[in-house]
Structure 1
Amino acid sequence: MIDTHAHIYAEEFDADRDDVVQRALAAGVEKILLPNIDLASIKPMLATEAAYPSVCRSMMGLHPCYVDGDVKDTLNEIHGWFDKHNFIAVGEIGIDLYWDKTYKAEQEYAFITQLNWAKERNLPVVIHTRDSIEETLSLLKKEQDGTLKGVFHCFGGSVEEAKAINELGFHLGIGGVSTFKNAGMDKVIPELDAKWLLLETDCPYLAPVPHRGKRNEPAYTALIVDRMAQYKETDSASLIEMTTRNAKALFSL
């Protein structure tokens, strides 16, 4: 399995990061992909990748929740990192209107700017959306020139939204939300085409049942794929094979 979205560089893992990685490997997770969020996360992310070079690979981007009035200066600094390090994706980027709409225009500017970095460098993008699927799809449609590819991480939307995302050539990251009783994913996942699916935890957030509300970790990827297999009335092994192949192709692993 590949956990395509994990923040194991976060301080929540400072006390037991080695154990977390060992549990992931023991559970069958062969790679853990690390999305960046802001300027402060770069150093711990790269240190984590350096500590586990055969397991962890990092991305570079500015998360929408960390966009503010200094967005241009922040983006310039983040963009400079692409010449210093080999990143597997531009991410995580996107639009988040859940907490605050103050910097909506700046979020859109950051999103479009980073989509263009992806085009220039032929890298996939990892997209975060919250209360913003329509805005995000609208901007993506305008920017899609046939070369953009990537994943809508932490997908918890409708079958119609999934189809709209797939039609633009983008994958769906399925995580712990798929196991939540009231999320409605038991109705959505059976309708999703497995060729567009990726596994992810988004740890330390959104731990799957039975760990909901506790710290999430990459080893729990196994719980997510088992629940997906149950919904799809298939076996976990075939879903693992498909999602791993999808992740390796998308991120050139």
Structure 2
Amino acid sequence: MIITDTHTHLYSEAFDDDRKEAIEKAIDLGVKRFFIPAIDSTYTESMLKLEKDFPGHMYLMSGLHPTHVKENFEEELAHVEEMLETHSYYAVGEIGIDLYWEKKYLKEQQVAFKKQIQLAKRKNLPIVIHCRDAFDEVFEVLEGEKGDGLRGIFHCFTGTLEQAKKAISYNMKLGIGGVVTFKNGKMDTFLDQIELKHIVLETDAPYLAPTPYRGKRNESAYIINVLEKLADIYCVPNEEIAEITTNNSKDVFGV
């Protein structure tokens, strides 16, 4: 059984004390493929080291996270473009709009999101979308960019059935993580109305740990809890969830 974690920040400082052990634990459980989203240029070096230390398991993305869009966002976007020219990446992400923490840089976030979508199209790469308290704003940008070349993952999807269908209409898979295991998450009330071909698994480690680890540091090994919850929701064996979602990730990332 090969499991794919399509979104995990294994270079995070949260893993500085036991990174190797945490990754090997996940690999032993069948998590063989880890897709690593970017935040900003300060993490590039640690991401490249992660790829070097675990060859054949780590697949990097390049991008500017919306919460890190500040006055210098044009410089950061130039770094993203430079990295895409000089190294192999499998997606542009994570990118999008986040209005949870502040709305001061909404305009800049919209510009950065749009520019990075266009960059992904030019490079024939998928995008990985971060959306928090900003479904309308994200969908507005996607509407303007829909069509040939637009594809990717709506990371950490926590919206409604209607929003799920709209995301899928833009050629996005839904990244399902720990929230699906929360009692108040509500995802389990409608997810079975979405075909499995639209679903990929993720952890967003070290964030959003699933039940029973909620509130603790998340790790890629805990994707097993997400997989088991989906097996319950869809009434299929764990192995089928692993196979379908891994194949879906291959469709997105091309590897």
Match of 1:168 in 2: 170
Percentage of identical aligned residues: 42
Match of 1:49 in 2: 51
- Is 1:115 the counterpart of 2:121? The answer is no
The runs of 5 or more residues in structure 2 that have no matched partner are: none
**Matches of 1:70 and 1:128 in 2, distance apart?**
20
Match of 2:187 in 1: 185
Match of 1:96 in 2: 98
- Is 1:216 the counterpart of 2:218? The answer is yes
**Matches of 1:197 and 1:50 in 2, distance apart?**
29
**Matches of 2:89 and 2:220 in 1, distance apart?**
20
Q: CA deviation at 1:145?
A: 2.6
1:12 corresponds to which of 5, 14, 25: 14
1:65 corresponds to which of 64, 67, 80: 67
Match of 2:130 in 1: 128
1:139 corresponds to which of 124, 138, 141: 141
Q: How many residues align?
A: 253
**Matches of 1:5 and 1:133 in 2, distance apart?**
20
Moved more, 17-26 or 58-67: 17-26
Q: CA deviation at 1:78?
A: 2.0
4+ residue runs over 6 A deviation: none
**Matches of 1:77 and 1:85 in 2, distance apart?**
12
Q: CA deviation at 1:134?
A: 1.1
**Matches of 2:190 and 2:54 in 1, distance apart?**
35
Q: Aligned-residue CA RMSD in angstroms? A: 0.8
With normalisation by structure 2, the TM-score equals 0.97
With normalisation by structure 1, the TM-score equals 0.98
Q: CA deviation at 1:227?
A: 0.4
Match of 1:84 in 2: 86
> What SS does the aligned partner of 1:228 have?
helix
The Cα offsets for residues 12-45 of structure 1, whole Å up to 9 and x where unpaired, read as 1111111111111111101111000011111111
Tell me the amino acid that sits aligned with residue 176 of structure 1. Answer: G
**Matches of 2:124 and 2:147 in 1, distance apart?**
12
Q: CA deviation at 1:141?
A: 1.2
Q: CA deviation at 1:188?
A: 2.2
> What SS does the aligned partner of 1:30 have?
strand
